[in-house]
Amino acid sequence: METSSVLTRGAARQRSPAAPEKQAQDQPERRPGRRRPGRRINEDQEEEAVFKEVVSFTPDPLPARYYDKDTTRPISFYLSTLEELLAWTPLMEDGFNVALEPLVCRQPPLSSPRPRTLLCHDMMGGYLEDRFIQGSEVQNPYSFYHWQYIDIFVYFSHHTVTIPPVCWTNAAHRHGVCVLGTFITEWQEGGRLCEAFLAGDEPSFQAVADRLVQIAQFFRFDGWLINIENSLTPAAVRNTPLFLQYLTAQLHQQVPGGLVLWYDSVVQSGQLKWQDELNDQNRVFFDSCDGFFTNYNWREDHLQRMVAQAGERLADVYVGVDVFARSNVVGGRFDTDKSLELIRKHGFSAALFAPGWVYECLEKRDFFQNQDKFWRLLERFLSTHSICSLPFVTSFCLGLGTRRVCYGKEQAVGPWYHPSAQETQPLFGEHKLAGDSRGWVKTHCCLTDAWHGGSSLLLRGLIPPEVDSVAVRLFSLHIPVPPKVFLSMVYKFEGSTDVQVALELTTGDASSCHVGGMLVLNAETGSRHSPRPLRVPPTRLARWASSCGQQLSGGWIQRCYEVNLHGCLLQDLLVSFSRPPGSREEENFICRLGEIQVVDASSLLAPLPRVQNVTISQIRWLPLITGSEGLPTRLLLSCTLHWSYLLLRARCFRIHCWKLTGSSSAAESPETEKPTFLGLAFANQYRVVDLAVEAAGFGQDGRVEFLVEPVPREGFPVPQAEWGKAVLLFSVPQ
């Protein structure tokens, strides 16, 4: 028996005063400023919360800061004035901007004493298509996917308080990269702003610092680049180191691993005078925070002088490189490797400013090739970071595509861009066999086909006659593994071929590492292994690996593996291609990888939490088609869904709907076999925008059912019976 709780429009829209509220990720998320209208009638029965609505074309106004004024789509936002910053408190709408992804562990960690790489994303003023939190429809958008090479991502714009769009925080954190916003003051107006909070007493600058810390903590990014590009009065510059010290100390307390960096601009006299180096005129600011980002017009003699200035903190000096090569700089553009070579020669970290040059200034159709070329030229000066935790699941999706695919089945056609949906990206490039062999494998992004999302990984290669196989390392790992691990690979070859494909692993701690269920490929070191494929998946894991060894939708094939390990450290994940038995011909191949999963077997047995308390609010109606009697026959519906779920268990949520006329439920309707996919959510809320529905006749109720499908971090589909659901009944005015 299914129970229902029915709410009217008024009940659904009651709001309590907003109050800051710490959101712990290990608890079902609660948002400030909202009274939940739904309630569970019986814990043993499925709840169907029903909301009743009389159609009205005069909607409740939405806060302009949080929504696109034309469509009501949720948007990321910035703060332009000191007053806005000091007045900010979290509202229900701020929940859209809270990052779902925690900052994952990686090796080497940011705290290790070695040169780091910072990417400062400055593109056409910022807040472009990336401001649309739930994605947008855009042709040829910018995408960054070489995350394994960088340590810090700064979102830069010329607004006073630049809060990074949540899509960048999600994508960066998924790869273990910390994210900084920007606090910037400029020109005369910036001078007045600085005077207002820096020239006064201690509580004035502490209030600004406290608010910056609260914003980073609430939205779950990792700190700030402080960029004062205006002169300061003696009183203001005297307080600036104290402001930096207080901000840094508070951030370290509230945001684990948080960073405050200072940009080379103002000197200790208060004069705006870029130094292009760390020296006695600006060292006081470096000593007051976590790092120093130099201006770009340096020469090698600047670097030589800085070695003594930095002392043991060489890695905390981020030498700025303008990739656009403006003004009098070393390198830039496709010569950026010249800058990096000098920076690394002297042991400093690097800050790459505006690497979107490859997108802004070169042909859009060649973007992927140009971006790969840019990072390939820098590769020898960059650390490759390792993944440190399980589950590790990726569909290689870039967070964009020309169509949407769900487990091999096409879901929608047309361009889309949603950076929060970007999955963990591999090492890109070309692997050549050692010695005189001509064997090689190249990896590329591929938008032509996908298993899940909008793209896959394309591997092209050649197996020459003199060798049996070629392999390419896709991921660097540093994972102490549990006793039993399951792996899965979804792939397909292009064209007819007898080439075989297999996953391979390398393990460390070889002296104490005991491996079961694997063939040792390298008998000399005993470190490289090929798991034996499972012919029949274990019954208890059917929900995760129900299609092992089978042909799937779209011609994809899934191969599963079970590996027993003890005392081992996983170090690399490779894909190898081997020639057919008995063949000595040269073999060319093109293979697409759609998904790779590495999962702790015990985590697959843990019960999943349920999506609960789905509510519907903030409803807007627009007439779409008007009938002969002047009444609308089709409507556009916009509304906000909220729900409760243990966020640590979710990769994201997939939002669906059933659209029905009358009061029948979706289960009784023969019209539609599957619900309509609406979009992805990376929070416990989602804004439905301009959903076309049939208007209800007099005396009838229209009915829309919204379904919230959780996607677990282990990556398997959840049965529809376990999704969350809410129903909207709507009628015409009497």
Return the exposure string of 183-211: e unless at least 16 CB atoms fall within 10 Å of the residue's CB, then b: bbbbeeebbebbbbbbbeeeebbbebbbb
- pLDDT tens digit string along 248-288? 999 999 999 999 999 999 999 999 999 999 999 999 999 99
Same fold, 78-128+144-387 and 392-605: no
187-200: pLDDT as tens digits: 999 999 999 999 99
Task: Encode pLDDT of 575-632 as tens digits.
Answer: 999 998 888 889 999 999 999 999 998 888 888 899 999 999 999 999 987 766 667 8
Q: Is the pLDDT of residue 148 over 60?
A: yes
Q: What is the pLDDT of residues 86-126, one digit of tens each?
A: 999 999 899 999 999 999 999 999 999 899 999 999 999 99
The residues, any chain, with a CB within 8 Å of residue 577's CB and separated by 6 or more, are 441, 459, 461, 463, 469, 470, 471, 499, 500, 501, 587, 589, 591
Taking a C-beta distance cutoff of 8 angstroms, is the pair 184, 160 a contact? yes
Chain centroid to CA 567: 32
Q: Residues 254, 259, 265, 269: is their CA dihedral positive or negative?
A: positive
What does CATH list as the number for 392-605? 2.60.120.260
* pTM (whole model) above 0.85: yes
Q: Return the pLDDT at 420.
A: 98
C-alpha span between 584 and 430 (Å, rounded):
23
Angle between helices 187-198 and 202-219 (to 10 degrees): 110
Question: For the domain with range 78-128+144-387, which CATH number is right: 2.170.260.10, 3.20.20.60, 3.30.70.370, 3.20.20.80?
Answer: 3.20.20.80
- CA 413 – CA 420 distance, rounded (Å): 19
**More confident call, 149 vs 46:** 149
CA distance 222 to 182: 11
pLDDT at 41 over 80: no
Fold (topology level) of 49-58+607-731 = Immunoglobulin-like (2.60.40)
What was the pLDDT predicted at 58? 86
Q: Kindly report, residue by residue over 628-642, the tens digit of the pLDDT.
A: 666 788 899 999 999
Q: What pLDDT score was predicted for residue 528?
A: 76
Residue range 695-705: mean pLDDT, rounded: 89
- Domain residue extents for the chain: 49-58+607-731, 78-128+144-387, 392-605
Q: Tell me what the pLDDT averaged over the chain comes to.
A: 88
pLDDT at 331: 94
pLDDT band for 42, please (50, 70, 90 cuts). Answer: very low
Tens digit of each residue's pLDDT (9 = 90 or more) over 536-586: 666 666 666 667 777 888 999 999 888 888 888 889 999 999 998 888 889
User: How high is the pLDDT of residue 511?
Assistant: 58
